[in-house]
């Protein structure tokens, strides 16, 4: 069957389970697509075809034995190069970590494999996964397949570029300040940041994470359909006691009214006209799908949450992070740290206590707000996807980038789930919207996302633009 790499993951898994297509055929189609388009976008930075085909062969053998191989039966997926995959380097975009070879899988990789997925390759990220652009000194630059002059996003830029170009049907990403949501936005696909504690995280190859990443960083899926995000989330969120923050929460919560708040310019964000238009259009799509949509002029605090999230993420251990960045010599990482120094340094025990205390207050405000509304619809960014490398042009451009990303940085501080839904193109530059809900209510994000998706043109894989 031609064009297997184009199919949604759910459809491909059904074909494989019914033996209409073999997992090996799907793997071969994915590898062929990778070979055809990856050289021009550099989304996948490490893969071993013989291992991919061996994984697929094992799926076919299990199906032949009438075994249940899982919801992702034979579906090729990619994983980000900042999580452990046995036998591969967990580089996180760093020369410093080129020899950090994982001796075991992270929970995400194990759970994807248990659900029947075939790990196709490892995707690129910026050094230390710091930026909304994807460049580093070990793997090189990743290009946006829709427009090479536009950032593919970051830090899961390789994931966004891969799934947009048809390299794999689902991509794994991580998100501490927009690193799933922004690549999805920039590459014209969908991306789900789950609730903290939904998807287990652990890299045995690296030191334990500081408290900031523990309570705000997550793993989650990017895909071309909301339906594929659903099955990917179910697979990724299986139990794994290596993460003490993992929570056994149901994937479907109690029924809530289809009531959405929409905010075009939350907490002082100044979105460009195209972004406002996308949010307004998504609100109309929700209304047409039977949702009650109420426009609001403000939300619970986002700006303060973003400032405190930046402190917790970059300020805690700032000097050690700066030392590592200087040893790595990566311009983007150094710009990120030096450009935020005045905001986050010094960071002492009193600062940490104050930040965590304030987090409880802000999280409470948001959770109460999201008892009134099932979801909040708002911009992903104040701007359309940036020109590639914008944050390195000058101080004004660096400040512009960070100012536009307010909503992405803020939401992780409260540990909330958020979904980027791609809604269309402005020329050939993607645009989309962000859907936020209460803790462990990814189901409500996805329900609204499906309504928004259904009101537009489905995302389809693209050949890289010249």
Given the residues 80, 129, 219, 422, the one annotated as active site: 80
Query: Encoding tokens for residue 247?
Result: 């929570």
Give the H/E segment covering residue 374.
none
Give the H/E segment covering residue 434.
strand 429-436
Query: Encoding tokens for residue 244?
Result: 């003490």
E-strand ranges in 53-206 read: 76-80, 118-123, 170-175, 190-193
The rounded distance, in Å, linking the Cα atoms of 455 and 423 is 9
Query: DSSP 3-state assignment of 13?
Result: helix
Kindly state the DSSP code that residue 99 receives in the 8-state scheme.
Answer: T
The rounded distance, in Å, linking the Cα atoms of 314 and 281 is 35
The reply to whether 129 belongs to the active site is: no
The rounded distance, in Å, linking the Cα atoms of 463 and 466 is 9
Residue carrying the six token digits 């996003």: 153
If you write DSSP's letter for every residue of 193-217 in order, what string do you get?
EPPTTTS----TTSPPPPHHHHHH-
The rounded distance, in Å, linking the Cα atoms of 147 and 294 is 35
β-sheet with 429-436: strand ranges across: 44-46, 118-123, 76-80, 170-175, 218-223, 190-193, 418-426, 429-436, 375-378, 259-262, 292-295
The rounded distance, in Å, linking the Cα atoms of 54 and 59 is 9
The rounded distance, in Å, linking the Cα atoms of 414 and 246 is 16
Given the residues 106, 129, 156, 179, the one annotated as active site: 179
Query: DSSP 3-state assignment of 65?
Result: coil
351 Cβ contact list (under 8 Å, min separation 6): 311, 315
The reply to whether 179 belongs to the active site is: yes
The reply to whether 22 belongs to the active site is: no
Q: Rounded to the nearest 5 degrees, what angle is found at the Cα of 443, between the Cα atoms of 440 and 445?
A: 95
Pairing of strands 429-436, 375-378: antiparallel
Closest alpha carbon to 435 in 360, 374, 384, 369 = 374
Kindly list the catalytic residues: 80, 155, 179
């Amino acid at each position: 069957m031609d064009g297997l790499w184009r199919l949604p993951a759910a459809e491909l898994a059904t074909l494989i389970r019914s033996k209409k297509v073999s997992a090996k055929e799907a793997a071969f189609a994915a590898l062929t697509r990778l070979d055809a388009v990856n050289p021009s976008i550099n989304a996948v930075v490490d893969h071993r075809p013989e291992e991919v085909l061996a994984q697929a062969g094992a799926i076919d053998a299990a199906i032949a034995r009438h075994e249940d191989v899982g919801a992702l039966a034979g579906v090729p997926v990619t994983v980000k190069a900042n999580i452990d995959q046995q036998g591969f380097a967990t580089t996180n975009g760093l020369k410093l970590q080129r020899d950090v070879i994982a001796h075991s899988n992270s929970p995400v990789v194990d759970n994807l494999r248990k659900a029947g997925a075939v790990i196709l390759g490892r995707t690129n990220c910026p050094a230390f996964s710091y930026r909304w652009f994807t460049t580093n000194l070990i793997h090189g630059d990743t290009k946006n397949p829709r427009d090479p002059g536009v950032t593919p996003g970051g830090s899961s830029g390789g994931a966004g570029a891969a799934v947009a170009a048809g390299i794999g049907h689902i991509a794994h990403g991580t998100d501490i300040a927009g690193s799933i949501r922004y690549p999805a936005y920039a590459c014209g696909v969908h991306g789900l940041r789950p609730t903290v504690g939904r998807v287990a995280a652990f890299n045995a190859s690296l030191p334990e994470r500081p408290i900031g990443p523990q309570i705000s960083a997550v793993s989650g899926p990017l895909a071309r359909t909301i339906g594929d995000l659903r099955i990917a989330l179910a697979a990724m969120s299986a139990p794994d006691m290596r993460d003490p923050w993992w929570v056994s929460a149901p994937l479907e919560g109690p029924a809530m009214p289809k009531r959405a708040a929409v905010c075009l310019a939350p907490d002082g964000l100044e979105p460009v006209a195209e972004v406002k238009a996308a949010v307004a259009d998504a609100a109309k799509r929700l209304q047409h799908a039977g949702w009650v949509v109420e426009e609001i002029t403000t939300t619970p605090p986002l700006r303060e949450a973003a400032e405190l999230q930046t402190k917790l993420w970059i300020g805690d251990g700032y000097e050690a992070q700066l030392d590592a960045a200087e040893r790595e010599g990566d311009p983007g990482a150094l710009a990120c740290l030096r450009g935020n120094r005045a905001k986050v340094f010094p960071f002492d025990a009193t600062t940490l206590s104050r930040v965590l205390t304030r987090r409880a207050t802000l999280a409470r405000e948001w959770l109460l707000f999201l008892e009134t509304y099932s979801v909040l619809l708002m911009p992903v960014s104040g701007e359309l996807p940036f020109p590639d490398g914008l944050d390195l042009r000058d101080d004004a451009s660096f400040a512009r980038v960070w100012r536009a990303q307010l909503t992405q940085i803020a939401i992780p501080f409260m540990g909330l789930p958020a979904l980027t839904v791609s809604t269309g193109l402005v020329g050939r530059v993607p645009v989309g919207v962000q859907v936020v809900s209460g803790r462990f209510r990814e189901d409500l994000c996805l329900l609204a996302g499906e309504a928004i998706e259904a009101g537009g043109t489905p995302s389809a894989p693209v050949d890289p633009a010249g």
